[in-house]
Amino acid sequence: MARITASVYTSHVPAIGAALDLGKSDEPYWKRVFDGYVFSKQWMRENKPDVIFLVYNDHANAFSLELIPTFAIGTAAEYEIADEGWGPRPVPKVIGHPELASHIAQSVIQDDFDLTIVNKMPVDHGLTVPLSLMCGQPQAWPCPVIPFAVNVVQYPVPSGRRCFNLGRAIGKAVASYDEPLNVHIWGTGGMSHQLQGPRAGLINAEWDNRFLDRLIAEPAALSQMPHIEYVREAGSEGIELVMWLIARGAMSDNAPRVRHRFFHVPASNTAVGHLILEEQ
Ligand code: DHB
Ligand code: FE
């Protein structure tokens, strides 16, 4: 059977992708960010998964205001890199895993979560920046990726509780796939940031670190936090953090092993948070 052996959490700041693509990762400002991922890249090489289930949000690139799925699972064989206005990032295309993705869709939809099935979806910085942070600049990504897009851009957005329970259903779906695949699940986006309005630039490092503590130790209780607290405490874009609860919900109820924890302010307008949790 397939097994989720680890979960990874990371911010997806688009300027990180630009810094990497433009050769600026050794500049002191960016080096402080990339230093937090040196261990992670080594860990990825040593613990290469067969498939990454990558929870992220699209930023009105694949889905405009004309069509807004709350949860969209990518079942395609491959995904092109989105052009976000200045050409697609120079990174490898994303190879999918249609068989496992279709199985998860079948299982999770029969478990009462209404996923949108997507067979064509350009992937934006929400997905490619986490891959770059964890894998560097390879010729090809190390394994197939199942993109799972969550609406955290246009209200109403899903609650943390729903995301956590959806993660549980995804974990159950993976565990019933009849092939011995090693699967990692990633929760991306966050941490505190607000890109617009009078509070633009808001960062709340204390709240972010408490979120990391609780995500590790008491995710079910954390999932009860209402969405308005994310917005009030972590800024309008801090709501992206509900996606981390999908990845956390997919892990077993055993206490995870914390392989890596990193927090840094600032990167562009956001606080960067990063965790690697392994199943014990
Ligand atoms: C920034 C951060 C994001 O998460 C995003 O999607 C776009 C921009 C920023 O820091 O500027
Ligand atoms: Fe974002």
Over residues 26-69, the pLDDT tens digits come to 999 999 999 999 999 999 999 999 999 999 999 999 999 999 99
Burial class (CB in 10 A: 0-12, 13-18, 19+), 136: middle
Cα–ligand 1 centroid distance for 33 (angstroms): 15
Strand intervals (E) in 45-114: 51-56, 71-74, 78-79, 94-95
CATH of domain 3-269: 3.40.830.10
Three-class SS of residue 182? strand
Are residues 196 and 229 in contact, defined by beta-carbon separation less than 8 angstroms?
Answer: no
Which residue positions in the chain have pLDDT lower than 70?
A: none
| C-alpha dihedral sign at 62, 24, 8, 246 | negative
Burial class (CB in 10 A: 0-12, 13-18, 19+), 63: buried
Cα–ligand 2 centroid distance for 56 (angstroms): 9
- Average pLDDT over the chain, rounded to an integer: 98
Active-site annotation holds for 125: yes
Mutation pick for ligand 1 pocket among 89, 193, 199, 202 (CB with most ligand atoms within 8 Å) = 193
Q: Whose CA is nearest to atom 9 of ligand 1?
A: 269
pLDDT tens per residue across span 96-135: 999 999 999 999 999 999 999 999 999 999 999 999 999 9
The atom number, within ligand 1, closest to the CA of 125 reads 6
Q: What is the pLDDT of residue 31?
A: 98
